[in-house]
Amino acid sequence: MASREQYTPGPASGAEVLKDGDKWTLVLVRVLGHSPEKVWQALTDPAQLREWAPFVADGSLGMVGATVNLTWVGNPTPIETKVTRADAPRLLEYSDIRWELEPSGGGTRLTLWHSIDRRFISWGAAGWHISFDVLDRLLAGNPIGRIIGADAMKLASWQRLVAEYAKQFGAEPPKPQAPQK
């Protein structure tokens, strides 16, 4: 496993927010140096998701109609989720998430649409940014381990990344909350 201590996320990039009142959708684009088929497997296979995504799935997300429980970081209660579109290796939709995969050179242009509470949009962008970095390294055979939630927030570059996305989106970064006593 590559060293997590050596990991530093790059600058905020490839993101925009679609705003519709209080409903905001994060659109994040990343070009990965791996085939759409390989990326599709990482998006749908529970074992691979556990290595990079901010949630754990109790089943495959690769078939329309599949009902899967997703357990998101910071929320121990699983959320029953139904896959509404699964056109391998191009399009995947479930819950408030949509993935598009397009061949790009020798890799994949991966686009994520995720509806996120507008108060936390910059955190969401920073979190997915880091998750995409972890995914890219995992698929390249150089895993650094999943970096989500509190682990992501401990990175020295977390506040910088959140601030960069907040500025891009014209949003206030959320205030960190004090631990509950």
CATH code, domain with 22? 3.30.530.20
Q: What angle do CA 48, 53, 160 make, to 5 degrees?
A: 140
Contact 146, 134 (CB under 8 A): yes
Domain extent for 34: 11-169
The average confidence (pLDDT) of the chain is 93
Distance (Å, whole) CA 42 – CA 39 = 5
Is residue 149 in some structural domain? yes
- Band the pLDDT of 180: cuts 50, 70, 90: very low
Q: Give yes or no for residue 177 having a pLDDT over 70.
A: no
Q: What is the pLDDT of residues 27-76, one digit of tens each?
A: 999 999 999 999 999 999 999 999 999 999 999 999 999 999 999 998 99
Is residue 3 in some structural domain? no
Is residue 17 in some structural domain? yes
Whose tokens are 């509950």? That residue is 180
Number of domains in the chain: 1
- Band the pLDDT of 6: cuts 50, 70, 90: confident
In sequence order, the 6+-apart residues with CB closer than 8 A to the CB of 26 are: 15, 17, 112, 113, 114, 115, 116, 121, 124, 125, 128
Is residue 148 in some structural domain? yes
- Band the pLDDT of 5: cuts 50, 70, 90: confident
In the 8-state DSSP scheme, what is residue 54? S
Contact 25, 120 (CB under 8 A): no
